[in-house]
Structure 1
Amino acid sequence: MPDLGLPRLVLAGRTVTYDADLPIGAICWRRVGIEAVDHRTGASGAYAIVTIALQLGIAGQGLPSITEETKYFLLGSETPRTVKPGGSPLSLERFALTKAFVPDDTLLFQFSALGFNSHKIHIDRAYATDVEGYPDLVVNGGLSTLLLTEFARNDLGVRPRSLKLKFLAPLFANRTMTFGAEKGEGAWMFTIFDDQQRPAVEAEMSI
C-alpha cells in the first residue's frame, strides 16, 4: 500500500475471477501491484481510492488462474470516526436460503495471522474501540468473502466463475452475521446482514 500520508484504511470492494483451479501442492506464481491511485477531497478532507491488482497462476503457465482487484479507501487521521450502518433493517423472507454465523475473537486472530494482516482493528479490541471508535473488533473483509464463498459452495453447491463484492458497513466480532442468497439470471445475489438485519455486504456471483 502506498504511503500517501493517509493512515486509515477501509476496504471498499473486491472483484475476483476464477479461470482455472489451483491444485493443492502445485507450485504457483503471484503478481501483485498498485493498479490505480485516485486522490479526492470530500467534506471530511483529503482521501484516496487505491486499487490493488493480484494474479495467481500455476508455475510454467503464463495465464493466471485467479485474478483479484481490490479497492481501498485511504482516509486521513482527521476523518470523523463514526460507524455508519449500511442501510435500514430488511426482511430476510425474499431469500431462497439464509444462514447465520457468529465470528469470534479466535477466528479473527487466526484469519489475520494466516494472511499476515496486522491491522489492529481486527486483533486489538482496545485500539478498535478506543482509537477507531468501533463497538468491537472488526471482521476482516477477506474473512467475510471466504465465509460467503463457503456458504455458496457448501450450502448451495455453487461453483463461481466470478465474484463481485461491495462493502457497505463493518461487521463486528461476537455479533451475528446472516448470509442471504437469491438466484438471478446466470448469477446468485448475496447480502450479508449485521446483527440488526442491516445490509453490510452485497455480492454477485456468476456461475
Structure 2
Amino acid sequence: MAVVRTESLRIAPAAAYRGTFAPLTAEPKSTGELPPGWEGIYFPFDAALADLRPDGSPADDGVLPVIDLPRRMYAGEDTVFHRPLAYDDVVEQRVQAGAVVEKEGRGGRLVFADIERNYLVAGELAISSVWHDVFLEAAKPGAVAKPPAPAPDAEWAWTESLTLDSRQLFRFSALTFNTHLVHYDRDWARGVEGLQDLLVHGPLVRMLLLDYAVRSQPGIKVERFSLQMQAPVFVDAEVRLVGRETDSGSEVLVVDAQSGVLARGLVTAR
C-alpha cells in the first residue's frame, strides 16, 4: 500500500540548495523547470521522533517493514524523468516498498530494501525513482574497510575537485530532515559505525553528480539517471568528479585521491 503525500514545489528549498551546492545553476524562478534530481530536496523525511532507530534513520515509516539490523545506509538510486517538474507545481508523491532481499555477506547478515517513489502532477507521472537501502549488522571493532575499486583506465573529458565540509552536511540534513547520526555526530560515525569521519549523504552525492553531468553537457535532456554508491564519501576529504560522454548520455564518477571509485552515475539522454 502506497503512502501518499502532496506538496507544492516552493522556490525556497531549491534556492537554499543552490546557494550551498550549485551556485552555477540558474536561479530558481516561479514556473521555471526544476533541474533533474532536485526533487530530492522536496518531501523531506517525516517519521516521528519515536519512530526513529538509534542511528536516527526511520524505523517505522509506513513503507518498509521494520528490519532488525542496527545500521542503515543508502546504496544508490535509479530514476526515470518522464517530464520536467516546475516550481509551483502541486506534486503528489506515492511511496511504497519494493523488493526486500536478505543475503549473507563478508560482514554478516545484510538486507537490501528498495523504496519506490512516483511523482505526479495532475495525475500525470513526472518522475519514477527506486531508492536502494542496505541494512547491516553492527560494525566489528577494528574491522578494516575494503579499499574502493580503481577507476577505469579511461580519458575523462571533464574533471573538477570537490571538498564538502560539515556546514554543507548540516544544511543538507536540514533541507531533507535527515537525522541519521553518521552525517553530524563524529562519535557515532567513528565509534559505532566504524567510519573514519562524518559521511556525506548518498542522496547529496546523487544530486551533485547529476548537476555535474548536466553542467558538463549544456542542453542535455536527462531521461534516466542511475547511481551506485561504491564506498563512503567523507567530510573534509578532497575528491574528484570525473566524467565523459557515452553513446547514450554520460558517465560520471566520484573518485578519491588514489583514484578509487566512491560513486558511479550513468546518465541516459533523450
Query: What TM-score do the two structures reach when normalised by structure 2?
Result: 0.71
Query: What stretches of structure 1 of length at least 5 have no aligned partner?
Result: none
Name the SS of the counterpart of 1:22 in structure 2. coil
What is aligned with 2:197?
136
- What residue is the counterpart of 1:42 in the other structure? 105
Which of 209, 214, 223 is matched with 1:153 structurally? 214
| Whole-Å separation in 1 of the counterparts to 2:109 and 2:162 | 36
Which residue among 180, 196, 203 is the counterpart of 2:258? Answer: 196
Q: How far is the alpha carbon of 1:71 from its aligned partner?
A: 1.4
Query: How do residues 1-207 of structure 1 correspond to structure 2 at under 5 angstroms?
Result: 1-58=64-121, 60-61=122-123, 63-77=124-138, 82-88=144-150, 94-157=155-218, 158-207=220-269
Q: Is the 1:51–1:69 Cα contact (8 Å) retained in structure 2?
A: yes
CA RMSD across the alignment? 1.8
Structure 1 residues 117 and 126, CA, compared in 2 at 3 Å: closer, same or farther? same
Cα distance change, pair 102–42 in 1 and its aligned pair in 2 (3 A):
closer
2:8 corresponds in structure 1 to none
Unaligned runs of at least 5 residues, structure 2:
1-63
Aligned length: 204
**Aligned with 1:108: secondary structure?**
helix
CA contact 1:7–1:76 (8 Å) conserved in 2 = yes
Q: Tell me the distance in 1 between the aligned counterparts of 2:101 and 2:224.
A: 25
Note the alpha carbon deviations across 1:119-161, whole angstroms, 9 max, x for none.
1111111211122121111010111111111112223213311
Distance 1:199 1:42, change over 3 A: closer
Q: Is the 8 A contact 1:89 1:196 kept in 2?
A: no
Per-residue displacement from partner, 1:76-108 (whole Å, max 9, x unpaired)? Answer: 2266754333223666x6101111111110111
Query: In structure 2, the residue corresponding to 1:74 is in which secondary structure?
Result: strand
Deviation string 1:5-50 (CA, Å, 9 cap, x unpaired) is 1121122221011111111011110011111111222343322110
